[in-house]
Amino acid sequence: MPAAKANSKFMAPVTPNAILGEIVGAKPLPRTEIVKKIWVYIKKNKLQDSKNKRMINADEKLLKLFAGKKQVSMFDLATIISKNVSK
């Protein structure tokens, strides 16, 4: 059986803008790595909502990334990342 191919869209490096770069760094990264780094930041700063684990509470850096929203769903991360990277 041939090895499964990685989805090249997700593996292609993208460049974070300045707002996203504050959290994940400025170097081009695959989207998968950006998501991992955002989650590391969220867990390190205890920003996951204690009652509803699917919600992420914004601190000062995430407030800019989340366009001023104080809380977003983890399912919104893909859209937020797309708006803050260039190919």
Q: What is the pTM of this model?
A: 0.84
- In the numeric block, the tokens 């000062």 are attached to 60
What are the residue ranges of helices labelled H in 1-87?
8-11, 18-24, 31-44, 60-65, 77-83
Domains delineated in the chain: 13-82 (1.10.245.10)
**Full pLDDT tens readout for the chain, 87 residues:** 555 555 666 688 999 999 999 999 999 999 999 999 999 999 999 999 999 999 999 999 999 999 999 999 999 999 999 999 988
Residue type, 31: R
Residue with tokens 């869209």: 9
